[in-house]
Structure 1
Amino acid sequence: MKKHLLAAVAAAAVCATLPAFAQNVAIVNGKAVPKARVDLLASQIAKSGRPVTAEMNDQIKDEVIAREIFMQEAQKRGLDASDDFRSQMELARQTLLIRELFADYQKKNPVTDADIQAEYDKFAAANGGKEYRARHILVENEKQARDIIAGLKKGQKFEDVAKKQSKDPGSGANGGDLDWANAASYVPEFSQALIKLNKGQLTQEPVKTQFGWHVIRLDDVREAQLPKLEEVKPQIAQQLQQQKLAKFQQDLRTTAKVE
């Protein structure tokens, strides 16, 4: 009878420890390492954008155990009581709390489809219309520009002259090619001269801007090729989210009483 009673007590004791042990991934120097730490680390990895695969589970578990070993040693040496450690912990606490504040704001103030559509419409209005494919030759003075115009009228090739004489390092090497662009992307003097040209036409007079003197040729004109909303929706959403967060931060600074 006594043997049966002892066996029952022992079995009950083992069963009582099983649930607690199941909540731990290891016992390090007599201290339990809870499974919650593994779950937390896995969650942080997932938040960073890395998928947590089945193959990573053992690695995460090993990392959690290693951290416990190192923390115990640091505590044994009294490092957790140092002023430097406490200062770093305070900075870390501030950083995490501020991060949570911003995340909470963004969660409660999301960018809507209507916001994105409105921003896209503004972009389309500002960049719609016509695009111009032009070439130019940039020189330092008016005489140089007039000589170039005269030479081009006599049959000199625009691209060759641009490569030799243009002081615009970007387009000069490409024969003066400025690629497709909205007229508004240029300085006003250049833009006004450009839109007056017909396809294939050369400016008859040099065009003066803050950069020097230009000889311009219009190669082609087309309707603006704007990206579709779906193609730029993620970028617009991110931009608007950043703008909303920046305004939130500025409003807090403005309304705070700082003495």
Structure 2
Amino acid sequence: MKKTLIAGALACVFAASAVLAADIQVNGSQISQARVDAVTKMMSAQAQAQGQQADPRLPEMVKQQLITAEVLRQEAVRKGIDKQPDVRAEIENAEAMTLANQLIKQFVATTPVTDSDIKAAYDKLKAATPPKKSYHAQHILVKTEAEANAVLVALKKGKPFAALAKEKSIDPGSKGNGGDLGWNDAESFVGPFGDAMTKLAKGQISSKPVQTQYGWHIIKLDDVRTEAFPQMDALRPQLEQQLQSQRIQQYIADLKAKAKIQQ
């Protein structure tokens, strides 16, 4: 029994020695294993975020980097560099920013955005967003107003719109498709074109040419449809980020309101 107790005690001593041995000593200053692990974890996470595998030699590389940094730090302190005003300010700023970032991280972790929060934000956004319309239009683009008027005359005489577009239009993107521009919202077009298009009824052709910086247009509106509002899951990441950002800003504002600040 006595031998067992002694063996157990020795095992504890050896285990404690192993833990202490994991720390690094540089001229009497300690670099803890916890610090090595923290830096290794951070660098490993950065590598994974970039789609890379962490180097298995990373822990040893981190150790050597920290040893080098500690040797240089001690020499800088010996020379009094840490007392220089600009260096002191940089050190204080780095400490403040590190602590501030960690505070925000912990705040985010302890105040997660819930599904009900996202649902409420989604419903509010949906109610405040006017229905969005899309337009299916065709056009014939020519250089001069006289050419555009001639196109209108040909249309009135019964010449098919698509045939005239293929024959007369100078728009290389739609000419081959008979002037077909596909489905777009009004904001996708330059102002005068979009304004004229949205005033047309289905199947109607503009009664007069529309001028833009590209030339003169004859527009035909084929169809109009109201776009469905995006589903909540499609907007979830955006809403979650927005809500979390609002909470962070409010948290900061509350802390500043309580602080005694003199400028």
Q: Is the structural similarity TM-score above 0.5?
A: yes
Higher deviation after alignment, 96-105 or 133-142: 133-142
Deviation at 1:42, TM superposition (A): 2.9
1:194 and 1:216 in contact (8 A); partners too: no
Give the residue type in structure 2 aligned to 1:34.
S
Alignment-mate amino acid for residue 158 of structure 1: A
Matches within 5 A, 1:1-259: 18-19=17-18, 21-24=20-23, 26-45=24-43, 48=46, 50=48, 53=54, 55=56, 56-121=58-123, 126=129, 128=131, 130-136=133-139, 145-150=148-153, 154=159, 157-158=164-165, 161-162=168-169, 164=170, 172-175=171-174, 179-183=182-186, 190=194, 193-194=197-198, 196-199=200-203, 201-206=204-209, 215-222=218-225, 224=227, 227-246=230-249
CA 1:247/1:28 → structure 2, altered by over 3 Å: closer, same or farther?
closer
CA contact (8 A) 1:183 1:195 kept: no
Gaps (5+ residues) in structure 1?
A: 1-10, 165-171
C-alpha offsets along residues 1-42 of structure 1, whole Å, 9 cap, x if unaligned? xxxxxxxxxx9xx95981563340x33344432112112213
Structure 1 residues 123, 94: closer, same or farther in 2, change over 3 A?
A: same
| Closer, same or farther: CA 85–139 of 1 in aligned 2, 3 Å | farther
Tell whether the 8 Å contact from 2:141 to 2:168 is kept in structure 1 after alignment. Answer: no
1:49 Cα deviation (Å)? Answer: 7.3
SS at match of 1:157: helix
Q: For 1:243 and 1:139, how far apart are their aligned partners in 2?
A: 50
1:218 shift after superposition: 2.6
In terms of mean alpha carbon deviation, does 68-77 or 202-211 score higher?
A: 202-211
Distance 2:46 2:66 in 1: 18
Q: Which residue of 1 aligns with 2:7?
A: none
User: What is the rounded CA distance, in whole Å, between the counterparts of 1:140 and 1:202 in structure 2?
Assistant: 19
Q: What per-residue deviation string (whole Å, max 9, x for no partner) do you get for residues 70-123 of structure 1?
A: 222322332222222101112223323443454455445433323323444455
AA paired with 2:37?
D
What whole-Å deviation, never above 9, does each CA across 1:136-182 have from its counterpart, x for those lacking one? Answer: 567899767545534565556336655x3xxxxxxx55237655334
Partners of 1:62 and 1:189 in 2: CA distance? 66
Counterpart contact for 1:127–1:182, Cα < 8 Å: no
Q: Matches of 2:252 and 2:115 in 1, distance apart?
A: 23
Q: Is the 8 A contact 1:38 1:61 kept in 2?
A: yes
Instruction: Note the aligned Cα RMSD (angstroms).
Output: 4.6
Structure 1 pair 218–121 and aligned structure 2 pair: CA distance change class (3 A): farther
Kept after mapping to 2: 8 A contact 1:190/1:209? no
CA distance change for structure 1 residues 124 and 39 in 2, over 3 Å: closer, same or farther?
Answer: same
Identity %: 33
TM-score, normalization by structure 2: 0.63
Kindly provide the amino acid, as one letter, of the partner of residue 224 in structure 1: E
Distance in structure 1 (CA, Å) of the matches to 2:63 and 2:151: 74
TM-score (norm 1): 0.63
Partner secondary structure for residue 216 of structure 1: strand
Consecutive unaligned residues of structure 2, counting only runs of 5 or more, are 1-9
**Aligned CA distance change for structure 1 residues 90 and 112 (closer, same or farther; 3 Å):** same
Deviation at 1:132, TM superposition (A): 2.0
